[in-house]
């Protein structure tokens, strides 16, 4: 973020400072300025106008400055600047201090680092070209800018991969002090975060500037991100706030931070307060991020995630790839994210382990999200009294206790594997158990139409005839052989179809009569 200000301050202010030591006309000063920068940087330099004022203090003002790699007219200039000025008192200048530099309309594009056998072709490289500006050994680099102010700047970092979108920051205000190449430089800045859009304020130190490979430039500091709008990601919404600290170098920034989203919402469900602490490593030259650990929590549920947010060659955007572990979750919290009903249809303890992949693109999050994992839900109860009564009765009958008049309440347990992709949840195997009964199911759930299509088997400790009394008990004795299970009890083929809000449970007659046993 401070790279643009550092680079332009060092080259522009230093060259202006060299010129100020020798009184020149404005046109001669412009020519000397262009020559000095071109030689110093081994670059093509253009400057539309430069004015030098000697009173009341030494001051230079420039307009229309562009700097580009020599011979590279096929790409935008490395640096473009609408207007800049530098001023200093005579005594300060004699001590190689420039009091103030102002920059307006800076546009800087940093290319990917390239390993070169001959560093003389790199803008900012040291060597013979470093001795030409100002007549002494690297004289230009010895100037120090006391204060730097930049407004309306834009920093673009061009990725290494061809076809990838560049990383762009709009830097509204940048303030720096003690700007020089050989030391860390304090800075303060306000800028826009691109995705998700939000306002960043940051302060810290930047440098010394690594002119041959900018990605190796050290930096550290603290930051605050406010009102980052998550609705740019189709399928979710909420205003995120974050703060933290960072350090390292531009191509490997180590970040520790916290985020808060008071009303995080998946569009299919209800909002929840989401909080997270994270440790990440960011490559500031391409935006790729390694998530060393993310500890997130909402309501009474916590999640630990590790993974990356990275781009792929020749593909736009970045893919979020995570390993998620939920060791202490609540089913009702997760269901709140998925459905709009204020009262959760089920409650219980949830444990989950899954691979999480979210590709880039404009599709709804639910449509493009991919999951592959397994889960356990323990102590499950249905909040709908009618449904829970049926579960209690299933356990009661499955245990063969139909002659007992009191039906105790029971808790259920779910275990299974799942895969999510293209808006369809595939469950290759899930078991649902209550005392006396176990249901083994496999099938699919289409999220947007909320339709179920599952088939499986109901295992009971009791025979079918023992699930009822009276005449039905006698008649069902004829059916016991069809549902007989090895080891005792019954095995009944079943199916669950229809909409989530009104599912249909029934006997799968096709499988019943096709069984060979």
In this prediction, residue 136 has a pLDDT band, given cuts at 50, 70 and 90, of very low
Q: What average pLDDT score do residues 455-464 get?
A: 81
pLDDT of residue 389 exceeding 80 = no
58-72, 392-406, 409-423, 473-487: which range is least confident on average?
392-406
For the chain, what is the radius of gyration of the CA atoms?
Answer: 34
CA gap 382, 440 in Å, rounded: 19
Exposed e or buried b per residue across 291-311, where buried means at least 16 C-beta atoms within 10 angstroms of its C-beta:
beebebbbeebbbbbebbbeb
Closest CA to 285 of 234, 222, 341, 210: 210
In this prediction, residue 120 has a pLDDT band, given cuts at 50, 70 and 90, of very low
Q: What is the pLDDT of residue 128?
A: 37
Query: What is the residue-wise DSSP string for 343-387?
Result: S-SEEEEEEEEEEEEE--SSS-HHHH-EEEEEEEEEEEEESSHHH
Q: What is the pLDDT of residue 455?
A: 87
Q: Where are the domains of the chain?
A: 3-216, 236-360, 384-514
Q: What average pLDDT score do residues 467-495 get?
A: 76
In this prediction, residue 10 has a pLDDT band, given cuts at 50, 70 and 90, of low
85-99, 120-134, 284-298, 402-416: which range is least confident on average?
120-134
CA gap 111, 299 in Å, rounded: 44
H-run or E-run covering 79: strand 79-88
Q: What is the pLDDT of residue 186?
A: 93
Q: What average pLDDT score do residues 63-87 get?
A: 83
Q: 323 or 282, which is more confident? A: 323
- Count Cβ atoms below 10 Å from residue 488 Cβ, excluding itself: 10
Q: What average pLDDT score do residues 213-235 get?
A: 86
Residues in the chain: 517
Q: How crowded is the C-beta side of 261, counted as CA atoms within 13 Å?
A: 23
Q: Is the dihedral of CA 439, 441, 446, 452 positive or negative?
A: negative
In this prediction, residue 5 has a pLDDT band, given cuts at 50, 70 and 90, of low
The helix/strand/coil state of 115 is coil
Q: What is the pLDDT of residue 225?
A: 94
Strand partners, 65: 47, 81
Cis peptide before 457 (omega within 30 of 0): no
In this prediction, residue 2 has a pLDDT band, given cuts at 50, 70 and 90, of low
In this prediction, residue 295 has a pLDDT band, given cuts at 50, 70 and 90, of very high
pLDDT of residue 66 exceeding 80 = yes
User: What are 393-410's pLDDT values in tens digits?
Assistant: 767 666 766 666 666 667
Q: 179 or 308, which is more confident? A: 308
What is the β-pairing status of strands 144-157 and 97-110? parallel
User: What are 421-434's pLDDT values in tens digits?
Assistant: 888 888 888 888 87
pTM over 0.75: no
pLDDT of residue 296 exceeding 80 = yes
* CA angle (392 as vertex; 390, 398 as ends), nearest 5: 95
Q: What average pLDDT score do residues 251-263 get?
A: 93
pLDDT of residue 117 exceeding 50 = no
User: What are 437-455's pLDDT values in tens digits?
Assistant: 888 888 998 877 888 888 8
Hunting for tokens 């199911």 — which residue is that?
441
Q: What average pLDDT score do residues 21-50 get?
A: 77
150-154, 155-159, 254-258, 287-291: which range is least confident on average?
155-159
Q: Which residues contact 29 (CB under 8 A, 6 or more apart)?
A: 19, 50, 51, 52, 60
User: What are 138-175's pLDDT values in tens digits?
Assistant: 444 567 888 999 998 888 877 666 666 677 778 889 99
What is the rounded average pLDDT for all residues in the chain? Answer: 79
In this prediction, residue 285 has a pLDDT band, given cuts at 50, 70 and 90, of low
In this prediction, residue 132 has a pLDDT band, given cuts at 50, 70 and 90, of very low
Q: Which residues contact 425 (CB under 8 A, 6 or more apart)?
A: 418, 419, 444, 445, 446, 447
In this prediction, residue 134 has a pLDDT band, given cuts at 50, 70 and 90, of very low
In this prediction, residue 115 has a pLDDT band, given cuts at 50, 70 and 90, of very low
In contact, 99 and 88? CB cutoff 8 Å: yes
Closest CA to 268 of 502, 450, 419, 453: 450
Q: Is the dihedral of CA 469, 472, 473, 479 positive or negative?
A: negative
The first and second tokens of residue 18, run together, are 């060299």
Q: What is the share, in percent, of the chain residues with pLDDT greater than 90?
A: 22
Q: What is the pLDDT of residue 23?
A: 55
Q: Which residues contact 506 (CB under 8 A, 6 or more apart)?
A: 494, 495, 497
CA gap 483, 477 in Å, rounded: 10
pLDDT of residue 137 exceeding 50 = no
Backbone angles phi, psi at 515, to 5 degrees: -70, 140
The first and second tokens of residue 223, run together, are 């930051």
In this prediction, residue 126 has a pLDDT band, given cuts at 50, 70 and 90, of very low
pLDDT of residue 37 exceeding 80 = no
Q: What average pLDDT score do residues 361-367 get?
A: 76
pLDDT of residue 386 exceeding 70 = yes
């Amino acid at each position: 973020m401070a790279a643009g200000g550092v680079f332009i301050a060092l080259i522009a202010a230093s060259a202006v400072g060299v010129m100020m030591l020798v009184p020149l006309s404005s046109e001669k000063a412009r020519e000397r300025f262009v020559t000095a920068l071109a030689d110093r940087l081994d670059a093509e330099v253009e400057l539309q106008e430069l004015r030098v004022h000697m009173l009341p203090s030494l001051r230079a003002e420039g307009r229309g400055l562009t700097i580009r790699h020599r011979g590279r007219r096929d790409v935008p200039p490395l640096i473009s600047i609408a207007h800049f000025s530098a001023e200093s008192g005579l005594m300060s200048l004699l001590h190689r201090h420039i009091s103030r530099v102002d920059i307006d309309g800076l546009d800087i594009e940093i290319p990917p680092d390239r390993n070169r056998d001959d560093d003389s072709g790199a803008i900012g490289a040291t060597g013979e070209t470093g001795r030409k500006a100002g007549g002494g050994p690297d004289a230009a680099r010895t100037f120090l800018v006391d204060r730097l102010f930049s407004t309306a700047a834009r920093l673009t970092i061009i990725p290494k991969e061809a076809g990838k979108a560049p990383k762009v920051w709009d830097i509204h205000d940048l303030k720096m002090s003690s700007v020089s190449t050989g030391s860390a430089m304090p800075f303060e800045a306000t800028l826009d975060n691109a995705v998700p859009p939000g306002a960043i304020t940051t302060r810290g130190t930047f440098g010394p500037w690594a002119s041959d490979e900018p990605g190796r430039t050290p930096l550290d500091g603290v930051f605050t991100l406010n009102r980052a709008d998550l609705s740019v990601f189709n399928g979710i919404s909420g205003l995120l706030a974050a703060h933290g600290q960072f350090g390292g170098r531009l191509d490997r920034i180590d970040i520790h931070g916290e985020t808060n989203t008071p009303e995080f919402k998946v569009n299919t469900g209800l909002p929840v307060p989401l909080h997270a602490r994270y440790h990440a490593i960011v490559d500031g030259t391409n935006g790729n991020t390694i998530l060393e650990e993310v500890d997130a929590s909402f309501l009474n549920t916590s999640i630990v995630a590790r993974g990356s947010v990275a781009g792929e060659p020749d593909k736009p955007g970045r893919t979020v790839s995570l390993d998620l572990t939920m060791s202490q979750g609540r089913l009702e919290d997760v269901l709140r994210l998925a459905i709009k009903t204020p009262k959760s249809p089920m409650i219980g303890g949830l444990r989950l382990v899954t691979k999480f992949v979210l590709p880039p693109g404009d599709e709804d999050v639910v449509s493009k999200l991919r999951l592959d994992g397994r889960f356990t839900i323990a102590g499950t109860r249905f909040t709908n009294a009618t449904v829970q009564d049926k579960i209690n009765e299933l356990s009661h009958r499955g245990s063969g206790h139909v002659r007992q008049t009191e039906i105790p309440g029971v808790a259920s347990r779910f275990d299974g594997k799942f895969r999510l992709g293209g808006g369809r949840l595939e469950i290759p195997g899930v078991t649902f158990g209550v005392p006396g009964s176990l249901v083994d199911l496999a099938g699919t759930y289409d999220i947007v139409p909320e339709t179920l299509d599952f088939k499986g088997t109901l295992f009971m400790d009791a025979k079918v005839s023992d699930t009822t009394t009276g005449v039905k008990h006698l008649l069902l004795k004829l059916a016991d052989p069809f549902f007989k299970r090895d080891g005792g009890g019954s095995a009944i083929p079943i199916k669950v179809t229809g909409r989530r809000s009104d599912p249909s449970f029934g006997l799968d007659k096709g499988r019943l009569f096709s069984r060979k046993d």
